[in-house]
Structure 1
Amino acid sequence: MPLLDRFPRHLFSQRGWGLLAAGAVSLVAAQIMGRRDLLSLSVLLIVLPLVALAGIRLVKPRFQVYREFNPSPVETDAATTVRLAVARSGVGGGRAIMEEKLPARFGESPAFRFPARSATGGTSRYEYHLRSARRGQYLIGPVTAEFTDPFGLSLHRQAIDDGDILTVTPAAVELPVTGLAGARGNDGITATRIRANPSDDDVMTRGYRPGDPMRRVHWAATARHGALMVRQEESVTTPEATVILDQRFAAFPGSSGSGFGGTSAQDSHEMLSSSTFEWAVVAAISICTHLAERNYSLRLLDPRGEPAFLRSPSAPEPEAEEFTGASGLLSIAESLAAIHLSGPHHGARERHVARDHGGQESGPDVFDDQLMDKLSAHRMRGPIIAVLGRISMAEARALAPGAGYGANAFAIIVSEKPADSEEALETLRRGGWRAVAVPASVPVPAAWSHFDQGGAAPATAAADVRRGAGVGR
């Protein structure tokens, strides 16, 4: 038997290879001895496995596979349960050994027998768990099945489904409360008093709606109309926040497609990322979660003023730039799952841009009028937060005026050498930004705490944070 183990198992089983070997020996013996009965036996021994092989490939069993992830999408370092349901949908019977193909990062692929012992209604159900420490989109599956003929002579392995995409989103970290909202307050709700003229008799009113507080009932108008009327002089508005996410290849040196991030399931290639960009992605989802919990509506842009997720293969709506509520936050998380660095040499869709002496993208495409127009369209409706990679002086000068369009403006530069960003930081601060530069080794909450409303003044706060938490300016 050890000799038979050396034969390929994708054609015949050990029994099938044994019959073929016996047939070959019988054929040689028939030739030597001149025995017709041995010749007939050798033909039978050789033909039987070949017929079984042809039959199992011509009559292929058909299956239906249903795959469910719970939860889906799943955050990094969190477990998701994969539930499989396999049912035979065509002719054929017998048993099969099945295996769920998994990306290498998930470890050994699970194998199971069909039908399962607990099969009900012709459907076998299986369950296993997955966990990923890296964000990305991963192709889970397909299920491959190994069939054998009724005599156990031949084998055939085939995929019985196409697999499904598991989206792993970056996990948000809790951020300390900071003075982001300025005059709007930190709760994300602004009460704005609108009065047509000084007289209380002339305030704007409308009909009472269920849920309106009785303190807003305008009794004079109620008496005139014969129905409950409420004041409209107080309106609650939802503040907005704009997040600029830098994703330029040149802004994150040391970028690599092999050591960071997850896999883009569409092309099975590693995402182009780096340790600093991964920090920026975690910062972006943490900031968005922090603001969404305070009832902010969110708008996400890239340095060119385009939708931040325009080039993300995992974005449900790549051209969307405004997000609200829990569903909007979920869409942001999914969009960040497979977002990657992009640049003039990374795809034909990118524009060609000039480079300055430092090798970074510059020119009118970055932080230009298109971005400023987007910021001015929401002038003073809330804070502007920029999560940036390395920027040049020219880019800092172009971005600096953008602070004038927000109630407050905050910039975090993540860089391998934060000290190299000192001049860019000073340029941003002179333009009105509260800015800090950090290495990727600093926790996101430590960098975020720089923007504490009671913290140091913008010109000196970076040094204070550096002394307390290892943050470089």
Structure 2
Amino acid sequence: MRRLWPLTARGTGAGALAVLAFLVAHEAGVGELMYFGVLLLVVIAGSVVSLFTARRTEAVTRSLVPDVAAVGRESTVRVRAGMRSALPTAPGTWEDTLSPGLSGRARGIFPALGSGLRGGDGSVELGYTVLGRARGIHSLGPLVVTATDPFGLARRRFSLGGRTRVTVAPAIVELSTLPTAPGEAGGMLQATTAQLGQGADNLVARPYAPGDSMRRIHWRATAHRDTLMVRQEEQEATPEASVVLDRGVLRWGADAVLAPGLDPAFESGVSAAVSAVMQLVREGYSVELMDSDGAALSDPLAGGEVFDVEALAAQLATLTTRKGDDLGRVAGLFAGVLTGPVVVVTGRLSAGDTEALAPLAHHSALPVLLGVGAASDAVDRLRMAGWCAASLTPDADIAAAWEQAIDRGAARVR
């Protein structure tokens, strides 16, 4: 905190006038001016002393609404400072310190305080808005107050409270809906069988198997088919989708491995991934977010649970890239199965990457790839292999890139 000259312009002028009074009193022999100069100095000294004594700060607390900030979204900050002073103070100014990942006009007029000897809580409430600029963990504070004495002669700058940690999550962009209904996109509400008591509605009969309880025998079906039949139920399965965020450091800028918010390309990739998760969850899919090496980046998210996606975004606030290059292993994660939508978010692509990813298009009803900084020829090769692919620059519109990829998917499934 920069040191501040303890006198205001008025106080500095009063001090200069006192010195001038001493000089004139000495030269002209006017004793009254000497008393006047002494009086001015006493008042100035008293003003300075009053700012440094009998002041007590109880606590400084902050709250954010919403409690997790996001890149590109404003949050309201409420600051409550508990202060007591034996002497009344004049209005001053305040400024809350913002770390580089946040921006806003965090300053204003600090109200006058009455004497704490009269009782009362002595708390001051302040407010301002901040805008998330960079993903990561940032801080607010300390609160810096510049106070003046009641005469406006002296001033003091001091800090109140400590720092408050603020989580800035990646931006969640609203994306367009998938070109088909969940069932047509490979996430059909498929009928799977389960033993009675595990699930839902539709009772059917199947042949008796060793170990089945005799209480589950379906006598009517047994008589009709002349063989022992037992009850089972038909259960609906939730449509599933997968989102793969490639964290391999070779795909992104070198700074992305150091800390969040440093590489614009990776920031765009993280935002695209969590936005895809949000859109799929809104459409009823159970979504799994994973790394290109198959490691889960979150627990599976149930369809419709958008608040869980917002919690996931907060978890991704500290995500960075990692060593390794596992993009070629993504196709192997889905080998031998037919799955619903698979969204892959990656960075730069090589010819070998497109060859390794090509087979996955035949195992997903809707394979989507968003490549941040990917070359157009690599994207074209993936499209020829059956992918719904689009490339985008770090500062491009994620929703537009998604729309471009999905439009090709709509043509593919018609």
Is this a same-fold pair by TM over 0.5? yes
Classify 1:108/1:293 alpha carbon distance in 2 versus 1 (closer, same or farther; 3 Å): closer
Find the residue that maps to 1:53 and give its secondary structure.
helix
Residue 152 of structure 1 is matched in structure 2 by 152
Q: Is the 8 A contact 1:305 1:372 kept in 2?
A: no
The letter for the 2-side match of 1:88 is: M
Determine whether 1:286 maps to 2:275.
yes
Tell me the secondary structure at the aligned position of residue 56 of structure 1.
helix
Q: How far does residue 451 in structure 1 lie from its aligned partner after superposition?
A: 5.4
> Percent same amino acid at aligned positions?
22
Q: Higher mean Cα deviation, 241-250 or 135-144?
A: 135-144
1:136 Cα shift?
Answer: 6.1
- Any idea what the Cα deviations from partners look like across 1:390-411, whole Å, max 9, x if unmatched? 2112333444566677676432
In the TM superposition, residue 155 of structure 1 has moved relative to its aligned partner by 0.9
Q: Which residue of 2 aligns with 1:392?
A: 350
Any residues of structure 2 matched to 1:164-175 within 5 Å, and which?
164=164, 165=166, 167=168, 169-175=170-176
Are residue 449 (structure 1) and residue 402 (structure 2) matched? no
Structure 1: how far apart are the matches of 2:68 and 2:269?
Answer: 20
Distance 1:114 1:166, change over 3 A: farther
Distance 2:283 2:71 in 1: 24
RMSD: 4.7
Instruction: Give the equivalent residue in structure 1 for 2:17.
Output: 22
Task: Please tell me the residue identity of whatever aligns with 2:262.
Answer: L
Aligned to 2:227: none
Equivalence map 1:380-419=2 (5 Å): 382-400=340-358, 409-415=367-373, 417-419=375-377
Q: Is the counterpart of residue 114 in structure 1 residue 111 in structure 2?
A: yes
Deviation at residue 450 of structure 1 after TM alignment: 3.8
3-state secondary structure, aligned to 1:18: helix
C-alpha change, 1:339 and 1:143, in structure 2 (3 Å) is: same
C-alpha distance after superposition, 1:344-403 (max 9, x if no partner): xxxxxx54xxxxxxxxxxxx633366x678x36996564432112221123334445666
CA distance in 2, matches of 1:116, 1:395: 66
Distance 1:378 1:294, change over 3 A: farther
Per-residue CA distance 1:128-178 (angstroms, 9 max, x = gap):
445568766654444322222344332112232335426354132232223
Q: Does 1:326 align with 2:306?
A: yes
The 5 A counterparts of 1:56-205 are 56-74=51-69, 78-88=73-83, 93-101=88-96, 103=98, 106-114=103-111, 122-130=122-130, 139-164=139-164, 165=166, 167=168, 169-179=170-180, 186=187, 189-194=189-194, 204-205=195-196
In 2, Cα distance between the equivalents of 1:379 and 1:50?
83
Contact 2:70–2:170 (Cα < 8 Å) also in 1: yes
Contact 1:170 1:336 in 2 (8 A): no
Give yes or no for the alignment of 1:439 onto 2:392: yes
Are 2:175 and 2:275, in contact at CA under 8 Å, matched by a contact in 1?
yes
TM (norm. structure 2) is 0.69
Relative distance call for 1:65 and 1:217 in structure 2 (3 A) is farther
Does the residue aligned with 1:436 lie in a helix, a strand or coil?
A: strand
Change (3 A) 1:98 1:329: same
User: Which amino acid letter does the alignment assign opposite residue 387 of structure 2?
Assistant: R
The code of the aligned residue for 1:12 comes to: L
The structural deviation recorded for 1:272 is 1.8
Q: Does 1:367 pair with 2:367?
A: no
Shift in Å at residue 329 of structure 1?
0.5
Distance 1:436 1:206, change over 3 A: closer
Aligned-residue offset at 1:439: 3.3
Q: Secondary structure of the equivalent of 2:197?
A: strand
Q: CA deviation at 1:185?
A: 5.2
> Is 1:301 equivalent to 2:257 in the alignment?
no
Counterpart residue type for residue 292 of structure 1: V
Q: Which runs of 5+ in 1 are unaligned?
A: 1-7, 195-203, 225-229, 258-266, 309-319, 343-349, 352-363, 462-473
Distance (whole Å) between structure 2 residues aligned to residue 378 and residue 19 of structure 1: 88
Deviation track 1:176-231 (CA, whole Å, cap 9, x = no partner) reads 223596678556x443134xxxxxxxxx4339x9xx76x6599x95999xxxxx96
C-alpha separation in 2, matches of 1:32 and 1:305? 91
Task: Please list the CA deviations of residues 16-73 of structure 1 after superposition, one character each: whole Å capped at 9, or x if unmatched.
Answer: 2123212322444455567887667655544653454345235443153343332333
Gaps of 5+ in 2: 115-119, 206-213, 219-229
| TM-superposed deviation, 1:111 | 0.8
The offset of 1:328, in angstroms, is: 2.7
Which secondary structure state, in structure 1, belongs to the residue aligned with residue 327 of structure 2?
coil
1:40 to 1:379, Cα distance in 2 relative to 1, 3 A: farther
Q: Which amino acid aligns with 1:330?
A: E
Q: Equivalents in 1 of 2:294, 2:36: separation in Å?
A: 79
CA distance in 1: counterparts of 2:234 and 2:4, whole angstroms? 77
Equivalent residue, structure 2, for 1:261 = none
Whether the 8 Å CA contact 2:8–2:154 is kept in 1: the answer is yes
Question: In 2, Cα distance between the equivalents of 1:394 and 1:235?
Answer: 42
Query: In the aligned structure 2, how far is the partner of 1:176 from the partner of 1:417?
Result: 26
Report how far residue 292 of structure 1 moved.
Answer: 0.9
Match for 1:438: what amino acid? S
Q: Is the 8 A contact 2:349 2:375 kept in 1?
A: no
